[in-house]
Amino acid sequence: MKIYHEVIVIGGGWSGVSAALAANKAGADTALCERTDMLLGAGLVGGIMRNNGRFVATEECIAMGCGELFELTDSISRHRNIEFPGHRHASLYDVHLAEPAVRRLLLERGITLYMQARITRAKHHEGKLIQVESDQGQVFLADAFVDATGSSGPQGLCQRLGNGCAACIQRCPAFGPRVSIARLMGLPEYMTSRRRDIPGGAMSGSCKIYKETLSQSLREKLDAEGVAIIPVPKDMVNHSKLDSKVCQQYALPEYAESLVLLDTGHAKLMTSYFPLEHLRQIPGLENARYADPLAGGRGNSMRLTATVARDNSMLAAGTQNLFVAGEKAGICVGHTEAIVTGALAGRNAALLAKGKPLMVIPDTLATGDFISFSAIDTEGNPAVPGGYGLSASHTFAGSVYFERMKALGLYTTDKQAIRKRVRQAGMEGVFST
Ligand SMILES: Cc1cc2nc3c(=O)[nH]c(=O)nc-3n(C[C@H](O)[C@H](O)[C@H](O)COP(=O)(O)OP(=O)(O)OC[C@H]3O[C@@H](n4cnc5c(N)ncnc54)[C@H](O)[C@@H]3O)c2cc1C
């Protein structure tokens, strides 16, 4: 049987759910295909929102009319307005509560969800994607598609570029590995090139520890303050791990010299991995056990290996109707970044399906500037002069892009000023229309 929707989003991480919401709001009959039995992908274990420049991106989205996922994470935040090294005014959403809440929101809006629908085949002609097919044999047709399949794993890449499969939340062995739709269409994909020691990819930068395995005093501190910083004994400090992190915004010496723990429901340990026998020598962590990845003592998931060229409307280069979002759309790291790029990709997929002109977010806004600055061209070079392309992780929360935001005067925590800028750009409420 063939199933038709005007817009089909493939991948149900933060970028995919954001794309589905935006396409639905723009009036398109929208469906989402997700490989596993849960939405949110890497977002099932993240939690940090609104830190540094993400505050601006969040408020811009609220003002533009694509803020419901931010309002949702705000509503389930365990801590608000907290600080930890290099990061200010962060919120931490409860990673245990986010998925069911997001799923309800999508269903309430009338978006059709196909869970455990892993897309493995595509039929295309002259750059037009005609249909995709799941490994269960379901065939999906649409006028426009969004590839929001992320860049985590699969196991072969975690083996080749990292320390092996660490049994992370993506659960490749049970549900089958990630499959890129762009790749099914024959588009070239690029890896981040910023690690000096390996050919590409970067390792996820945090692990989760079961809070109930921490000492009572450490648990109480996390519950009350959201943050605990514990010095690491000198012989256990490993600065070289910082270089391999996906999240350059946390690649600061403080994160090698201390254990930074954040309360996201689990205790989020801000390091890619930490040998269990060392961890248990640290006061308060004598009984510590990893919740994600299960082998957090040895490694973590590899990411940033599957970026494609696109324009500022999020249309993948060389295609007529495939939009890209999230980690697929640039060397982009973060929930906020996935939601921003997803919203534009989803809206434009709907506009294309309706035969209307595509939209671009002006670069007077941080979200618009980020979208243009993080793109690569078909040779894998930065799409704009001065861009970092494959050699940097792009995030509003730190590293090169946050520096750029500050230099351009785009960083502020004044909500009224952000709304005014959105209004002046002619973008207030546009996603709601
Ligand atoms: C351990 C960890 C901690 C993190 N912590 C934070 C944090 O605190 N704050 C923050 O902002 N960011 C954090 N991040 C980064 C952030 O989670 C990601 O950058 C972002 O969520 C990526 O979203 P995405 O939609 O692009 O990809 P993903 O979340 O990877 O979603 C892709 C989805 O596509 C599905 N899929 C893949 N192939 C197919 C297919 N062929 N058919 C159907 N479905 C398919 C996958 O199952 C998955 O659900 C963290 C990441 C990790 C791994």
Per-10-residue mean pLDDT, the chain, length 433: 95 98 98 98 97 98 98 98 96 98 98 98 98 97 98 94 95 97 97 74 94 97 97 76 60 76 97 93 96 96 95 98 97 96 98 98 98 95 91 92 97 98 98 93
Q: Which domains does the chain have, with CATH numbers?
A: 2-195+303-432 (3.50.50.60), 202-302 (no CATH)
Per DSSP bridges, beta strands 202-203 and 302-303 are antiparallel
Q: Which of ligand 1's atoms lies nearest the C-alpha of 17? A: 25
Instruction: Give the three-class secondary structure for 218.
Output: helix
Question: CA-CA distance, 104 to 91, in Å (whole number)?
Answer: 22
Contact 329, 314 (CB under 8 A): yes
Question: CA-CA distance, 410 to 321, in Å (whole number)?
Answer: 32
Residue 7: which region, alpha, beta or left (left: phi > 0; alpha: psi -120 to 50)? beta
pLDDT at 85: 92
Q: What is the best residue among 270, 327, 331 to mutate for testing ligand 1's pocket, by most ligand atoms within 8 Å of CB?
A: 327
Q: What angle do CA 273, 308, 102 make, to 5 degrees?
A: 60
Question: CA-CA distance, 293 to 303, in Å (whole number)?
Answer: 14
> How far, in Å, are 226, 233, 238, 271 from residue 253 at the CA level?
21, 14, 10, 11
Whole-structure pTM value: 0.96
pLDDT at 256: 76
Residue nearest to atom 15 of ligand 1 (CA): 334
Does residue 41 line the site of ligand 1, with CB under 6 A? yes
Beta bridge partners of 415: none
Q: Which of 28, 35, 46 is nearest to 111 (CA)?
A: 28
Question: CA-CA distance, 300 to 42, in Å (whole number)?
Answer: 12
pLDDT at 236: 75
Cα 306 from chain centre: 13
- Dihedral sign for Cα atoms in the order 145, 146, 150, 151: positive
Q: Which of ligand 1's atoms lies nearest the C-alpha of 152? A: 30
Could you tell me the distance, in angstroms and rounded to a whole number, from the CA of residue 421 to the centre of ligand 1?
30
Q: What is the best residue among 40, 87, 152 to mutate for testing ligand 1's pocket, by most ligand atoms within 8 Å of CB?
A: 152
pLDDT at 251: 61
Could you tell me the distance, in angstroms and rounded to a whole number, from the CA of residue 303 to the centre of ligand 1?
9
Question: CA-CA distance, 176 to 214, in Å (whole number)?
Answer: 33
Question: CA-CA distance, 217 to 183, in Å (whole number)?
Answer: 49
Does residue 301 line the site of ligand 1, with CB under 6 A? yes
* Residue 348 per-residue DSSP state: H
Contact 245, 205 (CB under 8 A): yes
Contact 145, 10 (CB under 8 A): yes
Q: Which of ligand 1's atoms lies nearest the C-alpha of 329? A: 26
pLDDT at 240: 66
Contact 95, 47 (CB under 8 A): yes
Could you tell me the distance, in angstroms and rounded to a whole number, from the CA of residue 224 to the centre of ligand 1?
29
Does residue 152 line the site of ligand 1, with CB under 6 A? yes
- Residue 362: asked if its preceding bond is cis (omega within 30°), the reply is no
Could you tell me the distance, in angstroms and rounded to a whole number, from the CA of residue 46 to the centre of ligand 1?
9
Does residue 77 line the site of ligand 1, with CB under 6 A? no
Could you tell me the distance, in angstroms and rounded to a whole number, from the CA of residue 234 to the centre of ligand 1?
33
Could you tell me the distance, in angstroms and rounded to a whole number, from the CA of residue 45 to the centre of ligand 1?
9
